[in-house]
């Protein structure tokens, strides 16, 4: 867990430096989002950052760290970190190049394309990704948030987030998950009920976790 903590610190502080909004250049950056879910079988967390450089607004950094550990587990291999340099060539559409790491596959260069649509009540995000390595994987990611407003500060908050990863060589299943969230949001905070379903390897060995999630926008 010490390794995971250090990775999160490394991600958060550089992101704050590159991510601050600049009024002169009118660069708008999404917040860094931190979410935790203590549940029936263990603990899960996710940190997401998507930031533009102040002086080169079409370029930016996108990073996701997500991990889960069973209660009383000394060392968890269920961890993923990816960090990319991004280039926005159309509204909501970016091309990404960077690295992807898991304890099982190691550190691999990869490339991806992402599309994001966001309004006051809906956000849709799609990102296909592929490793640029000998034993490469391809991956499809999708997320939908629905957050209708209740009043000035409170919203209903729901999210469905899914991923499917397979080997390029023969199409064997490598990793997949489905995360569901349902609750409320107050200003920058979100909380409610959460469920994670995970599957690993060609045999799709499964793991489930049900609990309470808490999320917050850390930096704007």
Q: Measuring CA to CA, which residue among 51, 132, 54 is closest to residue 86?
A: 51
Compute the CA torsion angle 134, 200, 196, 162 (nearest 10 deg): 40
Please report the domains of the chain, with CATH numbers, ordered by start residue: 2-212 (2.40.160)
pTM: 0.83
Q: How many CA atoms lie within 13 A of 208 on its CB side?
A: 2
Please write the tens of the pLDDT for every residue from 64-105. 999 999 898 888 888 999 999 999 999 999 999 999 999 888
Place of tokens 């968890």: 76
Please write the tens of the pLDDT for every residue from 142-175. 999 999 999 989 999 999 999 999 999 999 999 9
32 and 220 in contact (C-beta within 8 Å)? no
Please write the tens of the pLDDT for every residue from 26-60. 446 778 999 999 999 999 999 999 999 988 889 99
């Amino acid at each position: 867990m010490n390794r995971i903590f250090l990775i999160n610190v490394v991600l958060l502080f550089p992101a704050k430096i590159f991510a601050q909004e600049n009024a002169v250049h009118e660069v708008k950056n999404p917040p860094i989002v931190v979410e935790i879910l203590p549940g029936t079988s263990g603990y899960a967390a996710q940190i997401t950052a998507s930031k533009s450089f102040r002086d080169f607004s079409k370029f930016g950094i996108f990073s996701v760290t997500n991990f889960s550990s069973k209660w009383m587990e000394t060392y968890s291999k269920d961890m993923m970190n990816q960090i990319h340099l991004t280039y926005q060539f159309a509204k909501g559409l970016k091309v990404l190049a960077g690295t992807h790491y898991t304890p099982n596959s190691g550190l691999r260069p990869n490339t991806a394309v992402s599309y994001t649509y966001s309004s006051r009540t809906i956000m849709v995000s799609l990102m296909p990704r592929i490793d640029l390595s000998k034993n490469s994987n391809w991956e499809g990611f999708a997320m939908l948030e629905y957050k209708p407003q209740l009043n000035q500060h409170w919203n209903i908050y729901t999210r469905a987030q899914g991923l499917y990863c397979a080997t390029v060589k023969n199409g064997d299943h490598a990793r997949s998950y489905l995360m569901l969230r349902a609750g409320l949001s107050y200003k920058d905070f979100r909380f409610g009920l959460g469920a994670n379903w995970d599957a690993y390897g060609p045999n799709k060995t499964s793991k489930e976790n049900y609990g309470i999630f808490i999320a917050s926008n850390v930096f704007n």
